[in-house]
Amino acid sequence: MGSRYLLNHIGGEWRAPESGQTRPNLNPGDLSDQLGDFAESGGADVELAVEAATAAMPAWKALGPIRRAEHLRAAERLLEDRAEDFAQAITREQGKLLKEARGEVRRALAILDFTAGEGRRLKGETLPAEEPRTFSYTFRAPIGVVGLITPWNFPLAIPMWKIAPALLAGCAAVFKPSPFTPLTAALLTEVFADAGVPAGVLNLVQGDIAAGEALVAHEGVAGISFTGSLPVGLAIHQAGAPRLLRTQLELGGKNAVLVLKDADLDKAVKATVFGAFGQSGQRCSATSRVVVDVAVKEEFLERLVEQVGALRVGAGADETAAVGPVVNEARMHACLEAIKTAQEAGAKVATGGGRAPGNGWFVQPTVLRDVPWDSQIAQEEIFGPVLSVIDCNGFDDAMRISNSVKYGMSGTIFTQDPATIFEALERFEAGMLHVNRPGVGAYAHLPHMGAKLSQFGPPECSPQVWDFYTEWRSACISY
């Protein structure tokens, strides 16, 4: 790994942080593997990055969306060529299984492909005028320099679904990734630089809270797109409110799968295991609750526990592992504490429940049964391989329990009744809905969005994303 990846990338140059401080980056599945000491930036680095972005934006805006899309196409080709390097980096620093990391690279490529195609569709409208000999129309303009703050759970795909539309819209950007996944961010920044994106259009500032707060507070930043926790998202929105900072916030989830008495149980169990324990449950759309009709609960639980108990935990590079580590020690302890608290509230451990062996941050895939619907573990996001099984009495009770939380990211139902399916789709208080399939996963051209406290602002990964990175103009021309 080149030493440049340990640095920031500002104005087209790799440079050390002004603070002179660094942060070690460890492999969560193998604590003997240290990837390096990466830049720990602060306000001075953000200042330099915003200055570079501000200087670069006029020429980038003038290029137009079709030519900007050519740079995205070039980046897509480079990413495809370097796909395995990215997968290996994701697995080493985030911990997810190598097959999951490769899947994330494919997702990022799909996002690039979709977004580049939008270069020929970034349109407005022509409209009739009230006066004669007058032409009136609307068009989109980039909002300005944007700050992109991304999490560690998808260190390539989530940055991509922010960077690609920001650049196509004509914005210049300051990208601040999670301090837990700095290598993937550096590799991604290099892809766009090698694709010919001009210096200063995309700037990378590594670091944690100090860099994030400085980016949100900077008067030269027109918008912040953030993916992460609810408390941080609220803090960003509140900090920017006095100057009407535009925000796009994708926040937490407490997602439910509803299994009714007429469900295909084999299909429901398979989908639940995938949704709850894929990527160690570290997804905003992960299945955190499964709400099961009492008529089929015991049969469902028997099949579920058998499959979950057979899942092998191991490092991401272990091709035989089915579940990888959680991202760090704090996340591991948070999962174990949540299990303990759930037991104190009356839940019972059906399988798992403790730390898994290994030189990393491993948690046993855990199923909790008899979970009270209003207990803490049934209401708050865990972000780990912990699944709560909650009893219900019929469809109406299942929907009540599903909608009882403050979040609304994903909603899923298993039933064979067409009328129930369509009623559920109307009644779910969630943004991404699924029927008889896993409650995770989305397409690059469909909105990635939540409801309630899971989302604020326009969706991502869809044509609706332009409502964040651009603003409307109307023009009337008298001839």
pLDDT digits (tens, 9 = 90+) for 241-270: 999 999 999 999 999 999 999 999 999 999
Average pLDDT over every residue of 157-165: 98
End-to-end Cα distance, the chain: 61
Inform me whether the pLDDT recorded for 427 exceeds 90: yes
The share of the chain scoring above pLDDT 70, in percent, equals 100
Distance in angstroms (rounded) separating the CA atoms of residues 156 and 256: 26
- The pLDDT tens digits of the residues spanning 283-336 come to 999 999 999 999 999 999 999 999 999 999 999 999 999 999 999 999 999 999
Question: Given this model, what pLDDT does residue 3 score?
Answer: 87
| Mean per-residue pLDDT, 424-449 | 94
More confident residue, 443 or 9: 9
Q: Is 284 a catalytic residue?
A: yes
Burial of residue 419 (number of CB atoms within 10 Å: 0-12, 13-18, 19+):
exposed
What mean pLDDT is reported for the chain? Answer: 97
Tens digit of each residue's pLDDT (9 = 90 or more) over 71-119 = 999 999 999 999 999 999 999 999 999 999 999 999 999 999 999 999 9
Q: Render pLDDT for 208-229 as a digit per residue (tens, 0 to 9).
A: 999 999 999 999 999 999 999 9
Cα gap 448→457, rounded to integer Å:
12
Can you read off the two tokens belonging to residue 126? 């022509």
Residue 67 CB contacts under 8 Å (≥ 6 apart), including other chains:
none
Question: What is the spatial distance between Cα 175 and Cα 161, in angstroms, rounded to a whole number?
Answer: 12
Q: For strand 223-227 and strand 146-149, is the pairing parallel, antiparallel, or unpaired?
A: parallel
CA distance 9 to 158: 19
pLDDT in tens, 23-37: 999 999 999 999 999
Is the separation of the CB atoms in 141 and 222 below 8 Å?
no
Task: Name the active-site residue from 104, 250, 381, 460.
Answer: 250
Give the Cα separation of 3 and 130 in Å (integer). Answer: 62
Kindly tell me if the per-residue pLDDT of 179 is higher than 70: yes
Residue 250 falls in the annotated catalytic set:
yes
Which of the residues 284, 335, 392, 461 is marked catalytic?
A: 284
* Pair 46, 211: CB distance under 8 Å: yes
User: If phi over 0 gives left and psi between -120 and 50 gives alpha, with beta otherwise, what is residue 430?
Assistant: beta
**Contact indicator for 434, 424 with CB cutoff of 8 Å:** no
The length of the chain, given as a count of residues:
479
Does this model's pTM top 0.85? yes
Please check the confidence at residue 1 and state whether its pLDDT lies above 70. Answer: no
Predicted confidence at residue 442, as pLDDT, reads: 78
**348 DSSP β-pair partners:** 369
Give which of 190, 154, 218, 390 is closest to 291, Cα–Cα. 390
